[in-house]
Structure 1
């Protein structure tokens, strides 16, 4: 009996020691996660069933919660949410402060800046060791995640601009086909003509679009219109720009007409444009794939004026279809002091995100994994058939340094057309000059 009691005590002690060890280990593998997408902890802070979440913020929050609740290695992801406009400046600053995150979101358009300065952890071998099949990624996505023959990111989506449509207002304006689809313009002239018809019939703005801030939605539309005319906004080698051109003038004049004809409200910032659309104050919202899940959910809720919601590709107004595109990716910022345990936990989180790519595609973003795109669950998602062709027309600037600087230079001068009355030609000359300054710094 004495021997049995002693054995039980030893087992109890061993259990206590193991529990203490694993508690310490769990704390040791807390990993920092740096991202934008907003803060929605009030609504989703405790949600681990990802199917109950919607929108970018809700889904990434629920995914993080699910990983924390279910991983078997004692890892805990600690999220730091950063405002979108300050994100890359603050991420860059972490390399100086030493508070380098273990996993971070990054746009494909920004990755060349970090890869060229050796600020990212190479992921080719780690992803292979994790069993992540890179052959499942769309070739363009894999290219975006690569530099110098090395994989530096896990590609996660393809996102583009779309037309989000209030079908009740379009019906009121007589802009609905017999099959129930919206009648959309096929030329610059038709866009203005249909916009005037819409405004006359409804008394509302034809288009809601961010027009005040540095978000640069209209720059993305400008680029799309130039690409539709068969001209590269920036040359493949990243050395020259084709902005102050006849094709650029066509694009700028059309955008100027949208505002001068009163078809869009120039006073709207990004949240204001979304709210105007949800409030039934505009027929078409120009915004990205990231809004689809949110707008669909809101329309079905019965709590907003928008009831009959539909999605469409950005129309082809010139010779060929094309639309601006970028990608979200997950990276491991380089940190020579990161422990083996943190590295393994960070990689486990990245693998988890890859395994749950379908959940992210519920936002409206297009998956970059062929297996997800081919799946029945993806095809069954709301509205996907309405913008399925977008993936084939997605166009990006070439992989160059300081792409954000290029967009900022273009945004300020393009916005001047409707904010300060600058004429399109003057705006183009300023845009060309500003972009050329950035390109010269790159070489």
Structure 2
């Protein structure tokens, strides 16, 4: 594996019929960059590595820190295999730098051989031809088929029946808890794991019991000034009601107002500012949990490495079902084939082989908390031995991603537009009814904007 600094320039588009014009794409990506800058970083994604010979398989991703080192380990393992790879890895910053450059390189038709993409962003790339289809027959030659993934995630790899992405992981919004506090509060089952909740009242009672057990807060949730946290919590609970949230092209948004109000009302009851604080920012909630000032925290699984270092007797579980059906808000880091004008068949074959081999290394990826999307790895004894990761593996079977549209997905302005009215409701500055009406107006405003990659 070689290393070089992140790419700074990308080729211009050469075929205005098949792809966006460079001018049009620039207008779109610069506007999107501004929106994404406002959205802020997503924890767990992101940096440095890559320079090599022309024959190397070029790979772009956005993994920094601990995730970046694990990705290095996985690439190293496949590179050293019996039929190894010469991999040229480029790592770009999460957010505008990554998705803008990925779109620009694909519009130029001479992008990397493989790239990482959040599955929730696929609807903004596949319709405009910015990613090329996956050859499922070719992938099957290397031992990977659609049956190897949970239907909840596999559905989102497709656009108009064609598969454009292969999931590496599922990274859900879950609960972490202090096992000693949860035991004192009577919340553990006979195996020492968090018992099912089953109703909104049960989660409210759990918060009170945890507050009494810790002598501090019950349930911690950092949302103030964070652009995604409120949406993650709302989306999980709303999906549990069984209601649909859809964003058809041209609008209007289709949302069950009564179900949404029910959810926001419950969010306000849960974070009442007494038993469970309602005004914490993300880092404040994280710090409170790691220093024993709360019994449970609502966070993404990507915080597992940080929490393990805290010394808290740590447990974790899928987001509790409290409404009518199980559902957990998630996203997925996936592999895509950025559009190339005239891909070399042998390099495309190697790209598919690389994706398959990386999936088979995803037990390494799971050590950071991510759930392997490739189910054969979930069946390995090594995964069952991972604690607390194996405690929330079932989240992948009830995964709920953002409603698909070009403006939704990880780091998008959609999260921010949904977050603002929800934050206002939690802080007591507006009613649940008004917050939901504002969410609908925001969604409709986005739907009125033309899709720049259509």
Give a deviation string over 1:24-77, Cα, whole Å, max 9, x none. x9611244433223235xxxxxxxxxxxxxxx3432232123344557566132
| 1:266 has 2:279 as partner | yes
For 1:244 and 1:131, how far apart are their aligned partners in 2?
A: 42
1:205 aligned partner: 217
- CA positional deviation for 1:320: 2.1
- CA positional deviation for 1:185: 4.1
1:39 aligned partner: 65
| 1:226 has 2:238 as partner | yes
Q: Is the partner of 1:27 in helix, strand or coil? A: coil
| 1:357 has 2:369 as partner | no
Return the TM-score normalized by structure 1. 0.77
Classify 1:365/1:72 alpha carbon distance in 2 versus 1 (closer, same or farther; 3 Å). Answer: same
2:386 counterpart (377, 381, 389): 381
| 1:425 has 2:422 as partner | no
For 1:266 and 1:184, how far apart are their aligned partners in 2?
A: 27
2:6 aligned partner: none
Q: Is the 8 A contact 1:161 1:288 kept in 2?
A: yes
| 1:29 has 2:55 as partner | yes
1:409 aligned partner: 417
Q: Is the partner of 2:177 in helix, strand or coil? A: strand
Q: Is the 8 A contact 1:266 1:419 kept in 2?
A: yes
2:145 counterpart (122, 133, 146): 133
Q: Larger helix proportion, structure 1 or 2?
A: 1
Q: Is the partner of 2:70 in helix, strand or coil? A: helix
2:296 aligned partner: 284
Q: Is the 8 A contact 2:52 2:88 kept in 1?
A: no
| 1:143 has 2:155 as partner | yes
Between stretches 169-178 and 411-420, larger displacement belongs to: 169-178
Q: Is the partner of 2:53 in helix, strand or coil? A: helix
2:118 aligned partner: 107
Q: Is the partner of 2:335 in helix, strand or coil? A: strand
Q: Is the 8 A contact 1:238 1:398 kept in 2?
A: no
1:17 aligned partner: none
Classify 1:103/1:215 alpha carbon distance in 2 versus 1 (closer, same or farther; 3 Å). Answer: farther
2:127 counterpart (98, 106, 116): 116
Q: Is the 8 A contact 2:109 2:339 kept in 1?
A: no
For 2:265 and 2:245, how far apart are their aligned partners in 1?
A: 16
Q: Is the 8 A contact 1:162 1:287 kept in 2?
A: yes
Unaligned runs of 5+ in 1: 1-24, 41-55, 299-303
2:260 counterpart (222, 239, 248): 248
Larger Rg: 1
Classify 1:413/1:87 alpha carbon distance in 2 versus 1 (closer, same or farther; 3 Å). Answer: farther
Classify 1:376/1:322 alpha carbon distance in 2 versus 1 (closer, same or farther; 3 Å). Answer: same
Q: Is the 8 A contact 1:278 1:305 kept in 2?
A: yes
For 2:84 and 2:380, how far apart are their aligned partners in 1?
A: 30
1:326 aligned partner: 331
Q: How does 1:72-83 map to 2 (within 5 A)?
A: 75-83=86-94
- CA positional deviation for 1:196: 3.1
Q: Is the 8 A contact 1:242 1:248 kept in 2?
A: no
Q: Is the partner of 1:115 in helix, strand or coil? A: coil
RMSD between superposed Cα atoms in Å: 3.3
- CA positional deviation for 1:383: 3.0
For 1:359 and 1:288, how far apart are their aligned partners in 2?
A: 19
Classify 1:87/1:255 alpha carbon distance in 2 versus 1 (closer, same or farther; 3 Å). Answer: farther
Q: Is the 8 A contact 2:61 2:115 kept in 1?
A: yes
1:11 aligned partner: none
1:18 aligned partner: none
For 1:365 and 1:140, how far apart are their aligned partners in 2?
A: 16
For 1:98 and 1:63, how far apart are their aligned partners in 2?
A: 28
1:62 counterpart (73, 77, 92): 73
Count matched residues: 396
1:309 aligned partner: 314
Classify 1:84/1:172 alpha carbon distance in 2 versus 1 (closer, same or farther; 3 Å). Answer: farther
| 1:394 has 2:399 as partner | yes
- CA positional deviation for 1:377: 2.8
For 1:235 and 1:96, how far apart are their aligned partners in 2?
A: 25
Classify 1:98/1:281 alpha carbon distance in 2 versus 1 (closer, same or farther; 3 Å). Answer: farther
- CA positional deviation for 1:219: 1.3
Q: Is the 8 A contact 2:250 2:448 kept in 1?
A: no
